[in-house]
Amino acid sequence: MTRLAAFQRVVRQYADIADFLVVYIEEAHPSDGWVSSDAPYQIPKHRCLEDRLRAAQLMFTEVPESNVVVDNMDNSSNAAYGAYFERLYIVMDERVVYQGGRGPEGYRISELKNWLEQYRKEVMEPQKEVLIQVTLSQS
């Protein structure tokens, strides 16, 4: 949750070239488990999907300009993407083109920004015109 302000700035800065999706996974520091002293919210371990949906509502209030979805109780998205605790991905044309490190240590919003900035340059670069000349003779 502490990194969401920086993520929200990225969402605003690159909304013209990217759609953003937050997948809320199992709680990393549940209030009835491994408690974090600096957690802004006290969220108990999710015992059912409704618990997870309620907790995700808090996430949505933190990143209102992003779509927020919830992993299922089997944590299949978390397992498929190795997201625990947090991780940044860029998916383009159904292919992962950027995979950030695992958080919290490997979570680098600056890497995400660099990738998006490079992509913006490529997309916004004026198309180079190509002149093709064909000479035909009527013999």
Report pLDDT digits (tens) over 44-86: 788 999 999 988 888 778 778 888 899 999 999 989 888 777 8
What are 95-98's contacts with CB under 8 Å, separation 24+? Answer: none
Q: Percent of the chain beyond pLDDT 70?
A: 78
Region 96-101: what's the mean pLDDT?
92
Q: Please, what are the domains in the chain? A: 1-124 (3.40.30.10)
Close Cβ partners of 44 (under 8 Å, ≥ 6 residues apart) = 27, 30, 31, 32, 51
Bridge partner list, 107: none
> Between 126 and 104, where is the model more confident?
104
> Between 87 and 117, where is the model more confident?
117
**pLDDT reported for residue 61:** 83
Residue 135 half-sphere exposure, CB side, CA atoms within 13 Å? 0
Beta carbons of 48 and 73 less than 8 angstroms apart: yes
Report the predicted TM-score, pTM, of the whole model to 2 decimal places: 0.75
